Copies of this chain bind each other. A is one copy, B any other.
Amino acid sequence: MLNFDFYNPTQILFGKGRIADLNKVVPSDAKVLLMYGGGSIKKNGVFDEVIAALGEREVSEFSGIEPNPTYETLLVAIDLVKTKKIDFLLAVGGGSVIDSAKFVAAAALFEGGEPWAILEKRGSNISKALPFGAILTLPATGSEMNSGSVVTRRSINAKMAFNSRHCFPKFSILDPSKTFTLPVRQIGNGAVDAFIHVMEQYLTYPVNSPVQDRFAEGLLKTIIEEGPKALANPEDYDVRANLMWCATMALNGIISTGVPQDWATHMIGHELTALHGLDHAQTLAIILPSMLRIRKEGKLEKLLQYAERVWDLREGDENACIDAAITCTQDFFEEMGVKTHLSDYALDADCITPILAALESHRMVTLGEKRDVTLDISRQVLELSL
């Protein structure tokens, strides 16, 4: 096992009816900025529940946060926070809204010049942030229980990540019944996103970490079991609860303790979204299967363990088991309604060179757990993903 630090102070309030507990976890004298996206929370009742739970507190609103939230949009929110002297942010939505709250929380108190510097320094220059909480309505990114965030700057087509120990939500409320009305596409994307978060932390090389491996495998198997049920029976509470908890546990730091991590799939995926607007999970579903095929040799032992323990593939030669496991993985993404080829999104070989150029401009020229995914390997991965 590798040395590690673990720290995660976010309080989780999980279950039916928990939005009412907002009153206990938001300071009673808070001046709150309610941040949300396209307004679905006004249709499904979440907005009204939140307002009721906040009671007499002074509440301002900032809506219209887009998927892959943009720096340009968030600058407006930062101005609003300063103008209205907001002292508590409440993100209501999925990963995009929670990521936005993290950025606004840090940028509102940032003293290092233009807030874009936070992204350029990946958050290392954050020394404080406004307190914020989240109400999760879309299980996927795990942002509700970590300190990471991804922001896109539209003017330069850059999608960049940062994190800081000052950017953990104070609390997150997870009510699985609030996901019943999600569109099929978002449930499919969410399951695939959570699955690939686990893979980035699990599918590397062995370091004798049986607890972390078994936790990761437990999450993968649960997502494989519950994902299709979540599509088939949208109002099955337990299925939604299990999927929601998987997505949170997939990226709260527990399964990455003491193990190497990859994240090459994510880095290429971010460029695909920045350049072509694909959903985050779509980009991951395209890249991961090719990434595993191209890098089979370096990941051999863990691929074999994955085939055996997650997909019960033990018969035949090792190579065949691994190939079958990757095919099962790709089939699972398709079953969840997420297409796995660039061509499914009307992209052809012409898209590859600009993606590589973007990786290079963002200093992503060696990726992966061994930093051996060169731009040439990234090209091979993209070519195999056509």
Contacts and interface: CB of A to CB of B under 8 A. Distances in A.
Interface in A363-384: none
Contacts of A7: 9-12
Given A218-B218, A254-B254, A249 B14 contact: no
**Which of A3, A4, A211 has the most chain B CB atoms closer than 10 A to its own CB?**
A211
B1 A5 contact: no
A310 to B, nearest CB: 11
Interface in A256-281: 257-258
Contact of A242 (B209, B215, B226): B209
Nearest to A225: B210
Contacts of A242: 1, 208-211
Given A7-B12, A15-B4, A245-B257, A219 B211 contact: yes
A221 B309 CA distance: 14
Contacts of A2: 15
Nearest to A216: B218
A125 interface: no
Given A210-B242, A211-B245, A241-B1, A12 B18 contact: no
Could you tell me the dominant secondary structure of chain A's interface residues?
Answer: mixed
Interface string A205-227: 00011110011011101100110
A13 interface: yes
A11 B1 contact: no
A238 interface: yes
A18 B3 contact: yes
A343 interface: no
Contacts of A6: 11-12, 14
Given A9-B9, A242-B208, A222 B214 contact: yes
Contact of A14 (B217, B225, B258): B258
Given A11-B7, A14-B257, A1 B208 contact: no
A142 B342 CA distance: 48
A28 interface: no
A5 B12 contact: yes
Contacts of A9: 7-9
Given A210-B226, A211-B242, A211-B249, 7 more contacts: A1-B245, A3-B17, A5-B11, A8-B9, A12-B257, A245-B257, A245-B258
26 contacts: A1-B15, A3-B15, A3-B18, A4-B14, A5-B11, A5-B13, A5-B14, A6-B12, A12-B257, A15-B258, A208-B241, A208-B242, A210-B226, A211-B242, A211-B246, A211-B249, A214-B214, A214-B215, A214-B218, A214-B221, A215-B215, A215-B218, A217-B218, A218-B218, A241-B258, A245-B257
List the 5 closest pairs (A to B, CB-CB), nearest first.
Answer: A3-B15, A214-B218, A9-B9, A7-B11, A6-B12
